[in-house]
Structures are given as structure tokens and as C-alpha cells.
Structure 1
Amino acid sequence: MTHLSSVPSPSLPGTGIYLDHAATSPVCPEAAEAVLRGMNITGNPSSRHAAGDEAKEALESSRAQLAALLDCGFDEVVFTGGGSEADALAVVGTVLAAEHRGAHVITTAIEHSAVLESAAMARELGAEVTVLRPDSRGWIDPDDVRKALRPNTVLVSVMHANNETGVLQPVADIADIAHQAGVLMHTDAVQTAGKVSLTGIGADLVSVSAHKFYGPKGVGALKVASGVRLAPLIRGGSQERGMRAGTENVPGVLGMGAAASAALRHVDDPAFEEHRHTLRVRLLKGLEEAGGIEINGAGAPCVPETLNVSFAGVRGDTLVDILAVYGICVSAGSACHAGSDEPSHVLTAMGIPAERARSSVRFSPGRTTTVPAVEEATARVVEAVARLRALGPADVPQPAHA
């Protein structure tokens, strides 16, 4: 077995190129400044004095900023500890609030694990769960949702864009189908908030996470449409309209609000739209030089920032580790399952064979990524892939941490 250290080095080590924005994004200056401002706010937002009023005012100002990003009412924003908690509150909270036992939930096999695990929890609570499979592109057919509806269906949960492939789902169409049947619609918009407009997607419940749109980690939000009943998962105080007990994370929420406002400005900027598409074109063109690649999700609508590529004859996690040595940051599948030898559940659900799934790498540039950085990174990828293939299948090095 050839060890990782024996693989010849690329010619330009230490490039320091970050292409893993789907895992997390750097904190933008506006958000960093807002977090620091929040650290200097002493009061508890629930306290009835001047210090508490200052904290409450800051909290509600940030709520308005999130409402603008989510295209919803000011009082429809519930702050959470992150996207995963928002997903759990949407899925499990809906089941717990259902007025009858045996509630039915529809979701998909390509959801983030936060939704899939929440669906599993709902099943433990007595709910029935239908998990729909995508087509070979990773796209969910709205008609499959229609066929899966039952008289006891209380929720449909379909993500807005997949975190591994970037494939955009027809959420608005699915929401129309759900609403015609009197069923609530939830979408995990963690990978689209700040990238595409959330106007008109039609979901009653929308999950977002600050660190995916250049805000701080550990804070998220759930849009809860007016009139929707959810049972709280965290109980205690009456914060967040009684849906999420606990003193609010004022610095984090302020950072999230500032990041939301900055992101919304970019979403509406034609120059940003042109830049993100240019980066994808240059990224794909550079990677094609490696030969023997397949784009996972090809043929489906997608967010330009996420490109999932399989390299024939190469372990994706090995390629990720080699590139990391030289400062190029990418990932093999979801960051939430880093280190697992199991093939991606998303790619598996798409019908992609395990060998190809294990050879996949996700590239996700961001707002500040430059074309020269993409070109330099892809050149290093092509070089590393060629060296790994030259070793032969039996000698492909395994990640040191696996």
C-alpha cells in the first residue's frame, strides 16, 4: 500500500483556496461587526428595564432583517440554534401539534440528515413517514408527492436545493399540491438563502442557517407562516412566540441579521448573478481537463455554487485530503458525514453505484472566490487526479484520518 506521504507534491503548495462554502462560509464584515456589537449588549431581551429594552430592540431589528430575506412577516420568524434545530422544529413540531394520532409525513431520500433524522423521530412518536426517491438527476417529481398524499398527511418536507449536488427542487409546485390537499409544506432552504430569491416558493415553514450565508455559526431561523401550529421542542420560557424556550443568542442573532441584509443585496445584484455563473463555467472547464469525470445532478436545475463531480478511478476522500495538504479546501459529500466510508445517501438515492459515489468531490465557490483562484485550484486537481490514477486502484492511498 502506498502511503499518502509518498504521493508527489503539486508544483505550487500552499495555495489557500477555499471552495467549500456549501459546508460553511466565512463571516462577512457586516456580520462580524454586528456580533461584536451584540457582545456589548448587557440585558436579557425578556427583562423589563432599559438594558432589557436595548436587547429586545436589537433582537427585533434582526428579526426584520431575516423577514426580508425569507420574504415573510416580521412575526413569522422564529430564531433557533441552527438549521438542524429549525428542521426538527418544523418536522417534529408539526407532528406533535397534529390533532390526531397516526399523522403522515412525506419527505425525500435526498434530504439533509437533519430532516431525515427528524422524520425518524416523528416515526418514533407514532407518525407514518413516506420517503420519496428522486430521478437519476436528483430531482423530485411533484406528481410523486401528489400520489403519496393521504387523508392523514400533515406535512410535506422537500429541500429547496440539495447540499451535495446543488439540484434545485420544484418547491413552489410541490407547495401548491400540498396546499390543495390542506397539508403544510416545509422546505430546508439552508443551501439557497442568500443565493437565490426565496420569494414565491410557497412553503409554510422555511429553515435557514446563518453560517451558510456569511453569518456566525450556531444560529438559525425558521419561518412559521401565520396560523401554523407547532409544538415546541425546547420548553421552558415563552420566548419566540412560545415555540423555542431559552434566552435568545443576541450576538448571534445580530450577526445573522446583518448577514441576511448583506446577502439580500447580493441576490438582487446582476453582477453577483453573472459572477456565480462565470465561476461555475470556469470550474467545470478546468475539471474536465482531468478526463473521466461525471457531473452528479447533470441535467437538473441547480444553484451555480455547488458542483458535485465523480473522478473515475480515484477515491474522493483521498483526493480531498491531498488537496487539503496544499491549502485547497473541498469536500467529499456532506460535511456532516466527513470521515464515513459509507457512500453518500444522496448519490445512492439517485441510483449512482457505490464506486462512483465514493469517487465524488463537491466544489462550492463563494461570493469572494475569484476566477484565478478557481483556475489555480482546478489545475492542482487535475495534477493530483493524474498522480492518483498512475498509482493504480490497488495503490490508491487512504486518508490518514479514516
Structure 2
Amino acid sequence: MEIKHKNPALLLEWYKVSVCLTNLEDRPVSDVCLNLSLNRNNNEKVEHSTEVCEDPDKNLLSLPVDFKLNSMLVGDQKTQSFYVRFSSLDTRYFQLMISYSIEDNNRTKIACVKDVEIIIDVNIVFDISVTYMSSKFEPVSKVYVGEPLIVMPSIKCLSPWPILIENTSFQLAKHVNISAGGYQSVLNGVLLESDECASEVICVTPSEFSENILGCFTINWKRTDVESECKSGYSSIELPKIVVEKSTFLVDMKLPAHGWLHTPMSIVYFLHNNSESLLTLNVSMEANEAFMMAGHKELNVTVLPESTYKLHFNLYPLVVGVSTLPKMHIGCTSEPNDFKHILNDVLVRSLQTQIYIMPKHLPIQTN
């Protein structure tokens, strides 16, 4: 009897174990049966976190399980394979017993039994951490309802073998929506060696106040070690909780990815009134030496309940490179002081402060 497997197993993968049997008796054997069970030294937690099957696409089997191989002629070889999956990191101690019957010269059946122990260690595949960021890619500890939130899981491969990421997915809670633009995994087909890192990213928007988690992040993967013949596994982590607050006011902006020197560019600010009352705001723009600006530098704006007000400005870049945008200031004298604090917080975390200005292209003159 020869047992083949590529120890250690990886957490939540279908790990293949093959048992190769050769009849070395001087006569045929019958009623060949393999019995697989967990060693008594395993605790109850280990039993509940261990799954067994002959084919991952078929039903699970309950331990202990019997694999019947019937009869074997002299010199015959048979291979019985099965898959195991573990949802905890405990080392597994399996007891594998082979039983068969053989007839002596008097045609008396003799029962024979042999048992071996299979030890399988379990390794974690990835170390996954999640960072929350604003639309400016700055870390945040809270988010407002209706505000875009960037979720960035960082993955470090801890497997001793290279791991191929087949796909990744987010299972979001009901109060969380994927922002405009949708989601497309950037890690599909990526191969990670041990200690290599990768990151996924998605932009979501909480639609209502909630203290529940935002959802889960799942990675479907498999070993690239062909000889192991292990099936695909998965790793999943709950997204950490983040404070979701309701805000009566939000602001965002639309601007090009970059500008061109001495070429007008348009910027649009969106002022969102999420309250049920009128919102009167004092808006001012602080000019700087990097841009000439066309538009109202100071104005009073009344935003209707549950609506959005748009402000358009035209900028004329004067310098090349990373340039600081004109700064927007918003004040509101009719609202309490805590609203003023929300205004400042929203402006700091939501508005882009810089843009890259490209040099102007000059056509090549030919004689």
C-alpha cells in the first residue's frame, strides 16, 4: 500500500489523497475495502471542520467512510483517490485501514487487516487586510451615506506553492451599492509566489445608515502544482466595520484627468442637499497663481431639499506640472455649529486639491 499526497494541505482547498494498492499475495483476494476515519486523538472541532468526498462535484461523504474495491488478482494494482477539505488549521490524523479476504488451500476464508496513519498539516493561503479610503485615496475611519468609499483588500501569499487567482468577488450588504463604473477584478489570472503581495479595489456607496458590516471579500484560487491534482479552493474575509453616518450635505467634483498648458479646462462642483429643508450656502473660490479663473468667485447658493446644485468654473492653466487647484470655501450662517464641522470635513475628504498640467504640444514646422 502506497499513499500519495502533497503535504501540507491549504485551508479550504479540495486536497487530493491517493491510495495505491498492489496484491502481493500468492493468490487472489476478495472483499477489498478501505476504511477512512479520523484518529480518536482529534477533537470535536476538527471533526466538524473536515469534509470528505470522492469527487468535489458530487455529494459529501460522512466519516468514517468505506471505499469498496471488490476483488484483486495476483499482482493487480488499484488506486483509490479521495478529496478532503479543512476549514481550520489543526493538523489532521487519519486512520486508514485496508481489509480483505483470502482463501487458504482448504478454501477457508481468512480475513486480513492492515492499518496506517495519514498525517496532514494545514497551511493558510493568504493574509488579507482591508483598507478604507476616500475618493482621494486617503485613509478614512468613517463614511457618510451617499459618499463614495474605496475598499482595498491587500493580499499576501503565504502558501509554499505558487497560487493562481482564478477570480475575486465582493458580496455586499443590502445597504451598500457598487458606484458608477461597476466592478471588474484586476487580479483574475494573477500568479502569486510565496510572500508576494497584490491588491484589489472597488468603489462602493452606502445607501443608508447602518452599523452592520459592508459585506465579504472572496478569492477563488488553485495551486499551480500540477502533480498535486488538488482542486480549486477559496478564501473569504468579512469586510471590517466602518462608521456610516448620515450627512445633510455632500459635495463632489468632475474634472479631467489632466490639463494642458494655456488650454481652458472645465470643472464642475456638485452640491448635494440631502435634508428636507432649504440650504443656503455662501460659496467662495480662492484663486492662486497657477490658474486664471472664469466664474463667480463669491456667490450665495440656495439648494432645494433632496436635490443637487451644479457650479461650473473654467480654468486657464499657467504653469506646467503638479498644480494646486483653486480652493473652494463653503459657509452657512443659518445652520448650527455641528453642521459647519460637517461642511469642513466633507470639503477636505471629497475635493481634489491638485491636478497635473501637461506642456502644450507645438507642431513641428517643416520647410
TM over 0.5: no
TM category, shorter: under 0.3
- Which structure's relative contact order is higher, taking Cα pairs within 8 Å and 6+ residues apart? 1
TM-score (norm 1): 0.20
Q: Higher strand share goes to which structure?
A: 2
* Higher Rg of the two aligned structures: 2
TM-score (norm 2): 0.21
